[in-house]
Amino acid sequence: MDMRHIGIITKRSDPRALEATRQLAEWLVERKRTVTVVNDIASAAVIPLGCVERRSQERLPEGQDLVVVIGGDGTFIAAARAVEEVDVPLLGINMGRLGFLTDTSRDSMLAAMERVLAGEYRVEERMRLSVEVVRDGKTPLVCRVLNDVVVHKGELARMMEFDVSMDDQFVFSSRADGLIVATPTGSTAYALSAGGPIVHPALNAILLVPICPHTLTNRPIVVPGAGTARITLTANGLDRLLTLDGQAGFPLSDGDQILVRRSSHTLRVLHAPDRNHYTVLREKLRWGE
């Protein structure tokens, strides 16, 4: 694929990310690429007028061959939402934190882009989840997530009660602080902190990870990705929320049902041809140290 039109989405609050954006934009323009940057980022990064096109982040992916994400995994997830309707691949540049999704280092940014422009890259398909909230026969929320959807209590220090089923087969009832339903991509995010397993991103699977369950034998499980998880709020309670990829929230009510299944929309992520998932895990999690 000829990468002629390239968009850049940047972490606004990181001065290093802004500097990397300016450097990458100028480098790409020198190579006769059309570069598009988010409006306020172009100004904050001091990119000269006329050097790049400027758009809102919502419109930036339109017509692009690639979107480069400069920041951390949070910035990457926000970019994934921006491209979910236009099927543009993402390349993540990590600005120094853990970064499972933004796995290209800042120091190797230009070398990685050189390889991309030369066609030396591998495309990885990442599954998303489709999420619906059903309330009194209506559907007040329909969305997609890349990492996870979390059903959890709000600010009050009390447990919530819910039932979980897969394809209308009852799995368990739980009293807990909540439940994480995650993709393999999300297995190294909140689900990992809650004691869930690490799942290879190529697997078609869904993780169900209870958060601080009252019954200690209520353990995380991995279920087939072709199934539909149904979480039903079963008891009276206040201050319960649905959190989507850690970036958006939706208040829940008694009797709400949350349906989670694999989305037909995947996310394409670009990697170096020699990238090794297990090497990434060893380096990020410091195995063997």
What is the number of residues in the chain?
289
Structure tokens at 104: 């290209």
Measured distance CA(186)–CA(165) in Å, rounded: 20
Strands (E), the chain: 5-10, 34-38, 53-55, 66-71, 90-94, 104-105, 122-126, 129-135, 138-145, 148-153, 160-166, 169-176, 178-182, 205-211, 221-224, 228-233, 240-244, 248-252, 257-262, 267-271
Measured distance CA(171)–CA(153) in Å, rounded: 21
Structure tokens at 14: 């990181």
Residue 73 among the catalytic residues: yes
Residue type at position 212: C
**Residues 73, 148, 177, 245: which is the catalytic one?**
73
- Strand 90-94 and strand 228-233: pairing? unpaired
Measured distance CA(171)–CA(196) in Å, rounded: 17
Catalytic positions are: 73
